[in-house]
Each structure stands twice: as C-alpha cells, then as structure tokens.
Structure 1
Amino acid sequence: MKRWLLLLLWLCSIKPAAAQGYVDGRLVLGREFAEKHLQAAIADSARQKVVARQRRLPIASLSDTAAALSAIEPLLFRAYGKKGIERQRPYEIYRIEEYWVINGTLPYGYFGGVFIVVVDARNSRVLELIHGQ
C-alpha cells in the first residue's frame, strides 16, 4: 500500500512533458506546442473535412487577436459550456503563419484538459476544435 501511495505522490509531482511551464500560476503549453499542434492539424486532411463542414466562424477574416477571440469564444461556449471555458482564461493565443492556434490554460496543480482550436485566419475556417481530458 505504501508503494502505491509513494508512486501516486511521485506521479502528481511530475510536470507534463508538453508543458513549457507555469506563468502567473497557470500551466502554459507554449508556442512550440502550438506549432506542433498546427502542423498535425494541417496534415490531417480527413479531420479537417469533418470539422470544416460543421464549423465556420461568422467573421470572414481574423486579422488580429481581438477579432479572433470575439469570433472563437462563442463557438467554444456553445461546444463546451461557458463556465468551463471561462475557467481556462487567460488563453494562449498564437498567430503562426496564416493560422490562429488558441488554447486554454489551467491553474497550478489542476489536473484536466484544455480546449485547443486551430483556425485559418484568411477565411475563418476551423481546422480543429478539441478539448483534452
């Protein structure tokens, strides 16, 4: 029994490998994570087709951070619930090439997942909309 408890305590102390670290007490995945996630979303054309049929943002072009957030947040609220998404503020927002990669953050010590959304900034097409566990 002691071994299991020690193992559990040790596992709880490990920081996730994909994380760059904590900023202001919140887990930040970082730009490198966003870049890798973007490349995976672009490469998975089958997933893009399914998401694109279901999700298109009402704004034609997402030229800046404010426009991206104002268009994406209501989509997230409908998909995952307003309270759950608001708890993931502040968001990480990255403009990489012609895409927005936005994900939530978690407070220090919190176990769970965050949303990740990838949107083409030129035409507001949602390439990916997921939420981790």
Structure 2
Amino acid sequence: MKWLFFLLLPITSHGQALTGRSVAGEVYAREQVRRIVSEPVGVTTTVLPTKQVAVAVAEAILFPIYGQRTIVNERPYEVYRIDGCWYIGGTLPAGYDGGTFEIVLKSADGQVLRLTHGK
C-alpha cells in the first residue's frame, strides 16, 4: 500500500490537484500551442529595449555560470546595440592578463546568440 502513495504523489504535488477546478483540458491546450506555433512570428515589442534591461538579463544568465564575483569584477561592461542585437562584454584593468565574458542577445526576444568567457 505504501507504493501506491508514491505513485500518486506526483499527481498532487506542487498544488496541481485539479479536483473541483474548471479546466480547459489537454485537447484545448494542444490546439492553442499548435495555433501559436504555426502563426507567423510578428514580434511587436522588444523584450530588451534598453541597455539597462539587456545588462540585467545578461547578468542573470552570466552570474550562475561564471560566478557573480567574476562577472562583477569585469565592470564596466562594453554595451552596444548593433543590428537588433545587444553585444555585452566585460573589461579588465589596463595591463591585466586574462579573458572576459562576451554575450550577444537578440533585442527582440532575448535569445542568446553567443555566450563565452576567455581565459
């Protein structure tokens, strides 16, 4: 009987019990996803409209990968908007050896086009 509890646990975990709730259903969800995926891409807004937003998103991506201390030590960043993309790169004090991060994000949707860190 204990094994039955463990089989049912994933169904009700994370507050996702649908009993007594009005739901659209999986068929409706599938129709919506297929409709959205098949629609022409028409981005009417820019997800990364400003330098500040682009840097905040870049740091949110870079900190967990390379460490907050490493990335913060590469401030001030070089930030340029070029051809609908944000180029953000770290800097080092003059005379220091080593590499810095480089990230390129699409301003329309935030997609990461390049992510690297030199040594």
Taking structure 2 as the reference length, the TM-score comes to 0.60
Larger radius of gyration: 2
| Aligned twin of 2:74 | 88
Aligned residue-pair number: 74
Stretches of structure 2 lacking an aligned partner (at least 5 in a row): 1-45
Which whole-Å deviations, capped at 9, do the CAs of 1:88-124 have from their partners, x for residues lacking one?
Answer: 0000000001000000000011100000001110011
Pair 1:62 & 2:52 matched = no
Identical counterparts, % of pairs: 43
The structure, 1 or 2, with the larger RCO (C-alpha pairs under 8 Å, 6+ apart) is 1
Cα RMSD after superposing both structures? 1.0
Secondary structure of the residue aligned to 2:52 is helix
Distance in 2, Cα, partners of 1:95 & 1:65? 8
Residue 99 of structure 2: which of 113, 117, 120 is its match?
A: 113
Stretches of structure 1 lacking an aligned partner (at least 5 in a row): 1-59
Distance in 1, Cα, partners of 2:65 & 2:86? 18
Taking structure 1 as the reference length, the TM-score comes to 0.54
| Aligned twin of 1:78 | 64
Distance in 2, Cα, partners of 1:75 & 1:69? 10
Matches within 5 A, 1:41-60: none
Distance in 2, Cα, partners of 1:128 & 1:79? 14
